[in-house]
Amino acid sequence: MGQSFEDLEVWKVGCRLAVSVLEELQGCNVYALKDQMVRSAISIPSNIAEGSERFSAKDFRRFVAIALGSAAELRTQVYIGQKANIITKSIAENWIEELKSISKMLQALAKSLK
């Protein structure tokens, strides 16, 4: 759809966040939460990439909506992880701010695809 997904700032930020989540949770022994968080984090840039390679703006919007849902899911998991003392307060606050920013960027991207 015009530009490559690699050029989208929201994809870049999503990738950086996914790497941060992977690195931070490497030693986490709460497998269920770790697995969900890693999946949600990876889902954000992955769905942006997949949607951008589709043949219509409607398809791209659908994948952006999925990425937006994954961002909300991860935000919830971060809150849970912090309350359960699995994630430090400073990391949780950082990720939550990043996720709020990603959500705003995804909402803007979805609007631009109408």
Per-residue pLDDT tens over the stretch 1-51: 457 999 999 999 999 999 999 999 999 999 999 999 999 999 999 999 999
Arithmetic mean of pLDDT, 79-107:
97
CATH of the domain at 91: 1.20.1440.60
Q: In the chain, how many domains are there?
A: 1
1/103 Cα distance (integer angstroms)? 21
| Residue 28 backbone dihedrals phi, psi, to 5 degrees | -70, 130
- Structural domain including 53 reads 5-112
48/63 Cα distance (integer angstroms)? 6
CB atoms within 10 A of CB 13: 17
CB atoms within 10 A of CB 46: 20
Token readout for 63 is 């994948």
Whole-model pTM: value is: 0.94
